[in-house]
Structure 1
Amino acid sequence: MSLPIPRLAKGLALIAAAALLAGCGLPRSGPTRGEIFEGSVLRQGDAFILVVDDRVNAIASVAPALGFSSSFLNAGQVGSDTINPGDTLGLTIFENVTDGLLVPTGQNATILDEVQVDGGGFIFVPYAGRIRAAGNTPERVRQIITERLGDQTPDPQVQVRRLAGDGATVSVVGAVGAQGVYAIERPTRLLSEMLARAGGVAVDADIARVTVTRGDHTGQVWFEDIYETPGNDIALRDGDRIIVEEDTRSFTALGATGAQDLVPFESQTISAIEAIATVGGLNPNQADPTGVFVFRNEPEAIAEQLVGQEVTGTQRVVYVLDLTRPNGLFFARDFAIRDGDTVYVTEAPFSQFSKVIAALTGSLGAVNSVVGTAQTVTGG
């Protein structure tokens, strides 16, 4: 004897519900809060799980600082008129006689333009001989030439000009208005002045990094810090290489947020609250505000301070931000996100419950539709 159609429908519905609940195959954005805690060193995993508070923030929010070493900071400015090998000088010599040593007949001065300083730092001036120019100022070179010519012509007057040469130069490349090789001159002796000479930075000033390489030493600062901290506006040296680059740091946002993406830093520092806001905030239909996690590999020194015990090497650390705790939002606001962090927001238990209900409702609706069609066909 066959079962009545209504009883068959109820049976099928129960079977479908049991299959859904037993299979646990509902889609979700990632691990649950409980599953993350199972990864703790106190349970089955190898990660230290720490609830963020003021103490944790004071330790974990320390970020690598940019800056110049003392060798950069203590370097004095290159004299604006200091002559270097390879520089070009301009000489003008006046004589108070009608038949001078260097001045043509009928004139009172002769111009020796583009006198090149050789690799040894010397120049040659007729009747004055070979004169050391490198390391001296134009005024000192003027005095030397005057003294030597004074023995051969009465009261000579000499002018010495340092022209733009290829002796003291720096290279400026990267995100600037005009890349190139520039001479260190009176208006461009400091880093800020040279960057201005190169057309300024061509990226957002908030995330522009300036790197200076001098021999075997390299220093790096934020572009804004050159102006906010005068000490960072270092004096340049011959051969310096200046590179301007956009910040390449980023973090990953996953889980029940407005967007799941690899997110570049848009400022020098970013807090956990700002990171969540950057990707659209918490998903109001899914997110669990008690389950905001930050995954990070911490160096040994910081990890030991966090856990209060000796560890070896880099450690996996999971930071827990419970936004519902008293001061929870303040803790999240003070927690600094670092390059390479993963920010993950778990789904609320109610979200999974809703998915089960939705799945059951959809399944039962499909069963009832099939039963209804069968009853229509059989006339039941």
Structure 2
Amino acid sequence: MNALVKCFVAVGIALMAGCTVVPGSYHSPTPGWFLDEDEISEGEPLPDVVEVHAIGTAILNQSRREALSTPVPEELKIEPDVYEYLVGPGDVLQITVWGHPELTIPAGSLRSSAESGNWIHSDGTIFYPYVGTVNVEGMRVTEIRDLVTQRLSKYIENPQVDVSVAAFRNKKVYITGEVESPGLYPITNVPTRLIDAIAEAGGISTSADWTNVVLTREGKDYRLSLREIYQNGSKEQNILLRADDVLNINPVTDSKVFVLGEVGSAASLDMTRNGLTLAEALAQNGGFNQQESDASGVFVFRKAPEEADHGIDIYQLNAKDAAALVLADSFHLRERDIVYVTAAPLVKWNRVLRLLVPSMTTLLLGVRTEEILSE
């Protein structure tokens, strides 16, 4: 029986030496994870899909530059040299011939210009006295004025004609999501940019994610940031909108990060309107578990950009140095980031003991009972 006890002790020592078989939620300190230069030549390397970075001033400066220079696709930057509104079906024109009130339908006290004007029909035409039926779809108001003037000159000497759009109803943008008044908004003869459209909709709500505005144009989605416009003065983000553009402002609750491992409480966190730093995420989840965590093993797992030659970026913070917490407060998390705090080596051994103690206790108590009985 004593030989059996010795066997159990030997197994315990073997398990103590081998951490890779220890159950629990932790990552093995293989080379690259902890960026220990003394261990780089040992063990198996990380797969090519992973790239590891230490959270330091260089990473923070790089992240800050990336945040200040979110690229805007070239196709969104294309704008006409001169902006001019082209009329279409549904628009209402107001045509005035000065000195000839009989040719101008008066608005009157009970009728607005939109009600009394010349409606552009679905086929793109309007009718006007002495001018007849003309197709004006896709024309500028100055071109329509010249056309009406030319035809009226056959009947009126030197006619003075003015043409304006009384109601813009042909071209619209669609605004949905976290704004005060979602709906359809017309594009007018005044250029409509991103912040103009948001202002027309009453501004964003308190639950809006202003870093994640989705523009859908011709079936393709683009992501824009109101934060860069308001806080950093980015003119590129304030794009010129076109007819049938759809703007969707997502709620901030749709953007989450996940905090796992040896923390006070593993959970998913909602990103705030101004983002979330690594220090804030750890603090909200109770911080490190002082008895069980390894402060040198704080990791952020992030999906790499599509153009990268790897799939996952891993950022490591060595929080054993209290000064590193300042870096944590400057490291901004992104949507769907995973924060992971590893377990301390002693904790891994304690988990082994939890498995061995019941069996060893039973065995030792049984041996002790036999010894007592033999006496």
TM-score bracket for the superposition, by shorter chain length: 0.5 to 0.7
Q: Which residue of 2 aligns with 1:348?
A: 344
Compute the TM-score of the two structures, normalised by the length of structure 2: 0.67
Answering whether residue 226 of structure 2 is matched by residue 220 of structure 1, we say: no
How far apart are the structure 2 equivalents of 1:33 and 1:136?
Answer: 69
Question: How far off is 1:93 after superposition?
Answer: 4.5
Residues 188 and 278 of structure 1: CA distance in aligned 2, closer, same or farther (over 3 Å): farther
Match among 174, 177, 182 for residue 179 of structure 1: 182
Residues 281 and 187 of structure 1: CA distance in aligned 2, closer, same or farther (over 3 Å): farther
Q: Which residue of 2 aligns with 1:43?
A: 43
How far apart are the structure 1 equivalents of 2:268 and 2:43?
Answer: 30
Question: How far off is 1:131 after superposition?
Answer: 4.3
Answering whether residue 192 of structure 2 is matched by residue 192 of structure 1, we say: no
How far apart are the structure 2 equivalents of 1:63 and 1:361?
Answer: 52
Counterpart residue type for residue 44 of structure 1: E
How far apart are the structure 2 equivalents of 1:187 and 1:297?
Answer: 41
Answering whether residue 292 of structure 2 is matched by residue 292 of structure 1, we say: no
Match among 238, 241, 261 for residue 236 of structure 1: 241
Residues 314 and 114 of structure 1: CA distance in aligned 2, closer, same or farther (over 3 Å): same
Alignment deviations for residues 154-189 of structure 1 (CA, whole Å, 9 cap, x no partner):
565655441224322222223333332221125672
What RMSD, in angstroms, separates the aligned Cα atoms of the two structures?
A: 5.0
The answer to whether the 8 A contact 1:66-1:220 is kept is no
3-state secondary structure, aligned to 2:223: strand
How far apart are the structure 2 equivalents of 1:189 and 1:299?
Answer: 31
3-state secondary structure, aligned to 1:145: helix
The answer to whether the 8 A contact 1:177-1:201 is kept is yes
How far apart are the structure 2 equivalents of 1:363 and 1:170?
Answer: 71
Answering whether residue 285 of structure 2 is matched by residue 279 of structure 1, we say: yes
Q: Which residue of 1 aligns with 2:317?
A: 321
Moved more, 260-269 or 82-91: 260-269
How far apart are the structure 1 equivalents of 2:103 and 2:321?
Answer: 92
The answer to whether the 8 A contact 2:88-2:124 is kept is yes
Match among 236, 251, 255 for residue 257 of structure 2: 251
3-state secondary structure, aligned to 1:324: coil
Moved more, 46-55 or 171-180: 46-55
Q: Which residue of 2 aligns with 1:75?
A: 79
The answer to whether the 8 A contact 1:253-1:261 is kept is yes
Q: Which residue of 1 aligns with 2:373?
A: none
Residues 213 and 41 of structure 1: CA distance in aligned 2, closer, same or farther (over 3 Å): farther
Alignment deviations for residues 120-148 of structure 1 (CA, whole Å, 9 cap, x no partner):
654221212344544222x5544543453
3-state secondary structure, aligned to 1:194: helix
3-state secondary structure, aligned to 1:178: coil
Question: How far off is 1:31 after superposition?
Answer: 3.9
How far apart are the structure 1 equivalents of 2:266 and 2:334?
Answer: 17
Q: Which residue of 2 aligns with 1:136?
A: 140
Counterpart residue type for residue 238 of structure 2: D
How far apart are the structure 2 equivalents of 1:317 and 1:192?
Answer: 33
Alignment deviations for residues 202-257 of structure 1 (CA, whole Å, 9 cap, x no partner):
35345452222333665321122333435232222222222222354433321111
Answering whether residue 126 of structure 2 is matched by residue 123 of structure 1, we say: yes
How far apart are the structure 2 equivalents of 1:49 and 1:156?
Answer: 76
Gaps of 5+ in 2: 107-112, 364-375
Residues 215 and 320 of structure 1: CA distance in aligned 2, closer, same or farther (over 3 Å): closer
Identity %: 24
Q: Which residue of 1 aligns with 2:372?
A: none
Question: How far off is 1:365 after superposition?
Answer: 11
Question: How far off is 1:345 after superposition?
Answer: 1.4
3-state secondary structure, aligned to 1:273: helix
Residues 333 and 115 of structure 1: CA distance in aligned 2, closer, same or farther (over 3 Å): same
Q: Which residue of 1 aligns with 2:93?
A: 89
Question: How far off is 1:117 after superposition?
Answer: 2.4
How far apart are the structure 2 equivalents of 1:317 and 1:168?
Answer: 43
How far apart are the structure 1 equivalents of 2:53 and 2:59?
Answer: 8
Question: How far off is 1:113 after superposition?
Answer: 2.6
The answer to whether the 8 A contact 1:83-1:162 is kept is no
3-state secondary structure, aligned to 1:346: strand
The answer to whether the 8 A contact 1:61-1:335 is kept is no
How far apart are the structure 1 equivalents of 2:191 and 2:307?
Answer: 42
Q: Which residue of 2 aligns with 1:108?
A: none
How far apart are the structure 1 equivalents of 2:24 and 2:193?
Answer: 56
How far apart are the structure 2 equivalents of 1:103 and 1:342?
Answer: 67
Question: How far off is 1:260 after superposition?
Answer: 0.9
Compute the TM-score of the two structures, normalised by the length of structure 1: 0.66
Residues 124 and 53 of structure 1: CA distance in aligned 2, closer, same or farther (over 3 Å): same
How far apart are the structure 2 equivalents of 1:147 and 1:284?
Answer: 87
The answer to whether the 8 A contact 2:212-2:223 is kept is yes
